[in-house]
C-alpha cells in the first residue's frame, strides 16, 4: 500500500533504555529504516542505531552569528563613520578596535537566536498535537517510559508485520497502531 | 598470624582505594527516573509549600512594594532623592548594578562553562542558577535605567532611526554596556527556556487539572522527547553554552570598562576585567548557596543536591575568592609602582580615609572569613556554608561600593572632595531590589521545576551504567 496512508505508524513501549536500544537495533537489522524513538532523556547511542547523523543546528548558529557580527560592525561603521561622521579624540572614523565589543555582543545574540530558532524549525515545534500522543501510556514518555515507532513511510511498512515483529522479537510491553 | 595481619592490611588498603576511586554519588542511590520526577515535579504540581516559603515570600513581597514606592517617588522628584551629587554621581545605583550583574554570572558559569567542561554535578543546580541569572540581570538592568535621570527616555541609548538623526556614541564603554547587558539578558532567557522545555513537557503529562495541562501544554511547545528532538536539542544546547561562555566574560569585562576607561584614581587599571569577572563568579556562587541551602531543606531535595555539590561550590568560591584577593593586592601594587600621587593616595584613602571602616569590613568579610572554606567541615555543612556565602555576598557589595564611591569621592582636586551619604531612598531601593529578586525566585520555585528533571535522569542513567 504505497502513497497516502491513514496510519502514522506502529508504536511499542519498553521499560528501559537498554530494551529500547536493543529493540531499535533489531528493527534496524530487520530492515526498517523510518523509525522514531521517544524517551524521557537523550538515550546514548540511539542516533547511531537509528541511522541518524549530526544536526543542522551548528550551521544555523554559525549563520546567525555571522549575520549578527556583520550587522554589528557595519551598523557602527555606517552610523558614526559615514552617516554622521563623529570624531572622538581624533580617532579614525573606522576605529575598528572600539567596534569589537558591540560586534561581539551582536554575534552572540545572532548565534543564540539562531540556536533557538533552529530548535523550533528542525524539530517542527511548536506543534501542540501529534499522532504519537494517542499511544496509550504516552504521558509516561516524559517520565520513565521508552517508545519506538516504525513509521508508515517506511518502504517495508506493513502494520501486521510490524506488530508481529515487535511482539515476537523485542521485549515490548504494549504495541499500538497509531492513526493520523 | 603475621600473614593474616598483612592480608588484613592489604584488604583495608584495597577497600580504601576502591572507596576513593568510586566518586561520591551525585544523586543518592535508590533514586529512579520516577522518584526524582515525582519529587521535583511534585513541588510544582502538588502546590503545597512549607511555612518558610510563605514567610520568605511575604517579606520579599513587602520589599517589592517598597521598591515600587521608591521608584514612584524617584520618577516624580528625580535622582536628587538619592545621596548622589558631584563628585559622587554614581552612588548606590551603579554599586547595585555591578553587584547584581555579577551575581547573575554564576548562573551562566554553572550552566554553560561547567557543561562544556563535562562537570556532571552541575545538572542538579543549573536550573536554579539560570533562574537566578535571569532575575539578577533584571534587577541589575533596572539600576542604570533609574539612574538615567529621565528613565522614560531610555530608548535614546539604542540605535534607532530618529528625528534628530543621531547615533549612540559607539566608541563609549557605556554604550557597549547597553549592548552587553541586553544581549546577556536575552541569551539568558533563551538558555533558561530551552533547558525548561523537556521538563515542562513532563509537567504537562503529569498535571492533573485541566488548567495546568493547558498552560504547561502551550509552554512545552509540543515536545515529545523524540530522538530527533533530543539530537537537535543537545546540539543547540551545547552551542548556546558555547556562546554564553565568552558572553559572560565579555559582559563583566565591559562593565569593568565603564570604570577602567576613565582616568579616576582607583579606576584606571588594566587588572579590572579579570578581577571583576572573578568577583562576579565569587558572589554568584555565594548567592546560589544562599538560595539553595534553605530550598533543599524545605523541599527535601538533599538526595539530588548532595554534600558533594555544596563541597564543590565551596571550592569554587575559595578559588575565585583568592583571585579577588590577588586583585586587591595587585591594585595596591600598581598604585605604588605607577608613582602617580593621586593613584597612591586613592589606596591610602581607602585604608585610612573617611570610608576606612567600609574598607576594613570588606577585608574581613570578603578575604579573611572566606578562608574558613579551606576546612571541609565548612564546605560540607549547610549552616556554616550558608554564613560563609552570606559573608561573601556582603563583601562583594562592599567591594563594589569601595570601587564606585570611595574612588569618586576624592579625586585629583581636593577642593572638589565631597562625602557621599546614602539616603533612606537609596537603602529602600537596594533592599527593594533584593525583595524583587527573592520574590521572583520564590515564584519560580512555585510554578516551574527548580531542578532540571531530565538532566538528573541523565545522572541516574550514568550512575547505573557506572555501577554495572
Cβ contact (<8 Å) for B235 and A54? yes
User: Considering all CA atoms of chain A, what is the largest pairwise distance in Å, rounded to the nearest integer?
Assistant: 81
- With 60 as the cut, is the pLDDT of residue A3 above it? no
Strand partners, A35: A150
Closest CA to B251 of B277, B229, B290, B270: B277
**Residue located via cell numbers 517589592:** B64
> In the numeric block, which cell numbers belong to residue B349?
584613602
C-alpha A46/C-alpha B228 separation (Å) is 10
Closest CA to B74 of B436, B426, B430: B426
Task: Please indicate whether residue B412 or residue A3 has the higher confidence score (pLDDT).
Answer: B412
Q: What is the reported pLDDT for B52? A: 83
Q: Helices B341-352 and B356-363 meet at what angle, rounded to 10?
A: 80
Of B221, B239, B240, the CB nearest to A125: B221
- Assigned domain for B448 exists: yes
Decide if A73 contacts A39 (C-beta within 8 A): no
C-alpha B319/C-alpha B139 separation (Å) is 27
Decide if B43 contacts B449 (C-beta within 8 A): yes
List pLDDT tens digits, range A48-88: 777 777 788 899 999 999 999 999 999 999 988 888 888 88
Q: Which residues from A are below 8 Å from B232, CB to CB?
A: 55-57, 118-119, 122-123
Cβ contact (<8 Å) for B226 and A37? yes
Does A50 lie at the interface with B, CB-CB under 8 angstroms? yes
Strand partners, A178: A9
- Number of folded domains that form chain B: 1
Of B170, B226, B454, the CB nearest to A99: B170
Q: What is the reported pLDDT for A1? A: 46
Q: Work out the burial of residue A97: count CB atoms within 10 Å of its CB; fewer than 13 is exposed, 13-18 middle, 19 or more buried.
A: exposed
Q: What is the reported pLDDT for B402? A: 92
C-alpha A166/C-alpha B313 separation (Å) is 47
Strand partners, A150: A10, A35
Q: Nearest residue on chain B to A85, judged by CA atoms?
A: B167
**Residue located via cell numbers 532611526:** B161
Q: Nearest residue on chain B to A134, judged by CA atoms?
A: B224
Decide if A65 contacts A35 (C-beta within 8 A): no
Of A102, A113, A142, the CB nearest to B202: A142
- Assigned domain for B14 exists: no
DSSP state of A154: S
Q: What is the CA radius of gyration of chain B?
A: 24
Spatial neighbors of B429 by CB under 8 A, at least 6 apart, are B67, B70, B71, B74, B82, B92, B93, B96, B146
For residue A149, give the H/E element and its range. Answer: strand A146-151
- Assigned domain for B210 exists: no
Strand partners, A179: A7
Of A65, A116, A132, the CB nearest to B224: A132
Closest CA to A155 of A24, A1, A38, A47: A1
- Interface confidence, given as ipTM, is 0.87
Tell me how crowded residue B214 is: count the other CB atoms within 10 A of its CB.
13
- Assigned domain for B304 exists: yes
Range of the domain at B271: 25-160+247-463
Compute the nearest-CA separation of B243 from chain A (Å).
Answer: 6
Decide if B95 contacts B401 (C-beta within 8 A): yes
Cβ contact (<8 Å) for A43 and B186? no
Closest CA to B124 of B378, B319, B308, B380: B308
Q: Which residues from B are below 8 Å from A17, CB to CB?
A: 461
Does A113 lie at the interface with B, CB-CB under 8 angstroms? yes
- Assigned domain for B197 exists: no
Compute the nearest-CA separation of A125 from chain B (Å).
Answer: 6
Cβ contact (<8 Å) for A112 and B186? yes
Cβ contact (<8 Å) for A55 and B240? no
Helix (H, G, I), strand (E, B) or coil at A179: strand
Cβ contact (<8 Å) for B205 and A140? yes
- Assigned domain for B112 exists: yes
- Assigned domain for B420 exists: yes
Cβ contact (<8 Å) for A112 and B243? yes
Of A58, A106, A142, the CB nearest to B179: A106
Chain A contact probe: residue of B123, B208, B230 with most A CBs at under 10 A: B230
Cβ contact (<8 Å) for B227 and A129? no
Rounded alpha-carbon distances, angstroms, from residue B222 to A115, B44, B78, B209, B344: 18, 20, 48, 18, 62
Q: What is the reported pLDDT for A106? A: 95
Of A54, A57, A133, the CB nearest to B236: A57
- Assigned domain for B181 exists: no
Closest CA to A127 of B195, B206, B212, B201: B201
Q: Nearest residue on chain A to B186, judged by CA atoms?
A: A109
| Per-residue pLDDT of chain B in tens (468 residues, 90 and over written 9) | 455 555 665 666 555 555 555 556 677 777 777 777 877 777 777 777 888 888 989 999 999 999 999 999 999 999 999 988 888 989 899 999 999 999 988 888 888 888 888 777 777 788 888 889 999 999 999 999 999 888 898 888 888 888 888 889 898 889 999 999 999 999 999 988 988 888 888 888 888 888 888 888 888 888 888 888 888 888 888 898 889 889 988 998 999 999 988 888 888 888 888 888 899 889 989 999 998 898 888 887 887 788 888 898 899 899 999 999 999 999 899 899 988 898 999 999 999 999 999 999 999 999 999 999 999 999 988 999 999 999 999 999 999 999 999 989 998 888 989 999 999 999 999 999 999 999 999 999 888 888 888 888 887 777 777 665
Amino acid at each position: 500500500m504505497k502513497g497516502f496512508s491513514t496510519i502514522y505508524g506502529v508504536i511499542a513501549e519498553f521499560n528501559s533504555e537498554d530494551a529500547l536500544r536493543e529493540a531499535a537495533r533489531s528493527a534496524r537489522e530487520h530492515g526498517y529504516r523510518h523509525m522514531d524513538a521517544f524517551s524521557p532523556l537523550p538515550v546514548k547511542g540511539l542516533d547511531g542505531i537509528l541511522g541518524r547523523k549530526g544536526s543542522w543546528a551548528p550551521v544555523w548558529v554559525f549563520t546567525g552569528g555571522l549575520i549578527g557580527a556583520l550587522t554589528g560592525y557595519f551598523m557602527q561603521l555606517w552610523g558614526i563613520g559615514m552617516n554622521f561622521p563623529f570624531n572622538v579624540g581624533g580617532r579614525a572614523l573606522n576605529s575598528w578596535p572600539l567596534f569589537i565589543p558591540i560586534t561581539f555582543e551582536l554575534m552572540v545574540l545572532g548565534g543564540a537566536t539562531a540556536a533557538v530558532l533552529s530548535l523550533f524549525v528542525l524539530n517542527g515545534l511548536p506543534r501542540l498535537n501529534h499522532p504519537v500522543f494517542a499511544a496509550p501510556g504516552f504521558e509516561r514518555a516524559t517520565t520513565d517510559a521508552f517508545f519506538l515507532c516504525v513509521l508508515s513511510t517506511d518502504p517495508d511498512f506493513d502494520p501486521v508485520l510490524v506488530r508481529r515483529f515487535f511482539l515476537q522479537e523485542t521485549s515490548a510491553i504494549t504495541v499500538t497502531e497509531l492513526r493520523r | 598470624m603475621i600473614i593474616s595481619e598483612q592480608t588484613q592490611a592489604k584488604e583495608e588498603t584495597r577497600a580504601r582505594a576502591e572507596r576513593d576511586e568510586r566518586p561520591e554519588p551525585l544523586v543518592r542511590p535508590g533514586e529512579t527516573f520516577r522518584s526524582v520526577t515525582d519529587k521535583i515535579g511534585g513541588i510544582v504540581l502538588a502546590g503545597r509549600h512549607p511555612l518558610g516559603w510563605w514567610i520568605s515570600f511575604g517579606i520579599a513581597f513587602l520589599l517589592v512594594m517598597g521598591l515600587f514606592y521608591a521608584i514612584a517617588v524617584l520618577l516624580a522628584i528625580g535622582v536628587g532623592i538619592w545621596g548622589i551629587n558631584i563628585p559622587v554621581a554614581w552612588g548606590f545605583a551603579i554599586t547595585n548594578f555591578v553587584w547584581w550583574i555579577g551575581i547573575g554570572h554564576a548562573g551562566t558559569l554553572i550552566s554553560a562553562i561547567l557543561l562544556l567542561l563535562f562537570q556532571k554535578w552541575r545538572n542538579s543546580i543549573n536550573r536554579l542558577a539560570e533562574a537566578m541569572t535571569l532575575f539578577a540581570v533584571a534587577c541589575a538592568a533596572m539600576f542604570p535605567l533609574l539612574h538615567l535621570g529621565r528613565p522614560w527616555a531610555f530608548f535614546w541609548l539604542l540605535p534607532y532611526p530618529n528625528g534628530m538623526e543621531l547615533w549612540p556614541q559607539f566608541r563609549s564603554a557605556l554604550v557597549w554596556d547597553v549592548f552587553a547587558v541586553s544581549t546577556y539578558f536575552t541569551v539568558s532567557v533563551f538558555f533558561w527556556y530551552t533547558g525548561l522545555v523537556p521538563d515542562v513537557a513532563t509537567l504537562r503529562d503529569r498535571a492533573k487539572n485541566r488548567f495546568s495541562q493547558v498552560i504547561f501544554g502551550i509552554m512545552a511547545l509540543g515536545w515529545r522527547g523524540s530522538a530527533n528532538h533530543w539530537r537537535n536539542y543537545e546540539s543547540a544546547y551545547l552551542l548556546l553554552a558555547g556562546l554564553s561562555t565568552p558572553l559572560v566574560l565579555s559582559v563583566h569585562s565591559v562593565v569593568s570598562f565603564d570604570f577602567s576607561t576613565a582616568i579616576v584614581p582607583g579606576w584606571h587599571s588594566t587588572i579590572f576585567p579579570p578581577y571583576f569577572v572573578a568577583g562576579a563568579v565569587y558572589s554568584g556562587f555565594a548567592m546560589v548557596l544562599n538560595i539553595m541551602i534553605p530550598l533543599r531543606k524545605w523541599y527535601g531535595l538533599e538526595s539530588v543536591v548532595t554534600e558533594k555539590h555544596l563541597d564543590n561550590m565551596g571550592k569554587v568560591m575559595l578559588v575565585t575568592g583568592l583571585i579577588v584577593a590577588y586583585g586587591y593586592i595587585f591594585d595596591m601594587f600598581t598604585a605604588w609602582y605607577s608613582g602617580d600621587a593621586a593613584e597612591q593616595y586613592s589606596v591610602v584613602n581607602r585604608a585610612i580615609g573617611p570610608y576606612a571602616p567600609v574598607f576594613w569590613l570588606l577585608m574581613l568579610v570578603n578575604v579573611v572569613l572566606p578562608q574558613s572554606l579551606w576546612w571541609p567541615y565548612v564546605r560540607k555543612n549547610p549552616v556554616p556554608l550558608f554564613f560563609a556565602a552570606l559573608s561573601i555576598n556582603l563583601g562583594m557589595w562592599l567591594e563594589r561600593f569601595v570601587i564606585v564611591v570611595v574612588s569618586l569621592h576624592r579625586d585629583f582636586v581636593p577642593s572638589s572632595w565631597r562625602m557621599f551619604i546614602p539616603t533612606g531612598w537609596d537603602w529602600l531601593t537596594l533592599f527593594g531590589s533584593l525583595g524583587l529578586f527573592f520574590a521572583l525566585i520564590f515564584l519560580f520555585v512555585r510554578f516551574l521545576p527548580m531542578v532540571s528533571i531530565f538532566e538528573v535522569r541523565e545522572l541516574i542513567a550514568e550512575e547505573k551504567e557506572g555501577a554495572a
